[in-house]
Amino acid sequence: MVRMDTVINGTRFDREVEPNVLLFDFLRDELGLTGTNRSCDVQVCGSCTVLVDGLPVSSCTFLAYEADGSVVETIEGIRDSDFYKRAESAFVSHAAVQCGFCTPGFVMTLKSIVEDGGGADEAQLRRSLSGNLCRCTGYRSILDAAAEIVGEQ
């Protein structure tokens, strides 16, 4: 077992975990944070994206104990924030959500862009969101929502 002393969505968790437990499984199975989704399991789709110290990571390939000493945010942790309300409004008004499976991952990646100062042109947004895949929308609507959320450069 290895130690994991981590702040997750504002609450400190000081636990012993198996060294092979993925952050994704810890969040869902131990903490019941089921807003983070799994699809590819190989760091391609971005549906499992959470923020670790403000940076987006694929929790499907990130070991839980690697978050020791870090601050982790999931979609549940930002639900009451102004950023979340703005993101929700933009995704809805641009019809950038269909099944919604990918949406938490996109929102967390966009939060990291905003926290980094925001502002991005379409090429930058496409690059920043290239690790998030959507099977439903065709991306145009997501890019329009993303531009509204981060602000045009």
Residues forming contacts to ligand FES in the complex (CB under 6 A) are: 38-41, 43-48, 58, 60, 97-102, 134-137
**Smaller CB separation from ligand FES, 3 or 140:** 140
Q: How far is the CB of 67 from ligand FES (least distance, A)?
A: 15
Q: How far is the CB of 77 from ligand FES (least distance, A)?
A: 18
- The residue among 96, 117, 102 whose CA lies nearest residue 58 is 102
DSSP class per residue in 44-73: SS-TTEEEETTEEEEGGGSBGGGGTT-EEE
In this structure, the number of other CB atoms found within 10 A of the CB of residue 7 comes to 16
Q: How far is the CB of 62 from ligand FES (least distance, A)?
A: 9
**Smaller CB separation from ligand FES, 77 or 105:** 105
Of the CA atoms within 13 Å of residue 145, those in its CB half-sphere come to: 28
Report the DSSP pairing between strands 49-52 and 55-58: antiparallel
Angle formed at CA 87 by CA 82 and CA 88, multiple of 5 degrees: 100
Q: Is 12 helix (H, G, I), strand (E, B) or coil?
A: strand
Q: How far is the CB of 101 from ligand FES (least distance, A)?
A: 4
Q: How far is the CB of 10 from ligand FES (least distance, A)?
A: 24
**Smaller CB separation from ligand FES, 1 or 99:** 99
**Smaller CB separation from ligand FES, 31 or 136:** 136
**Smaller CB separation from ligand FES, 11 or 137:** 137
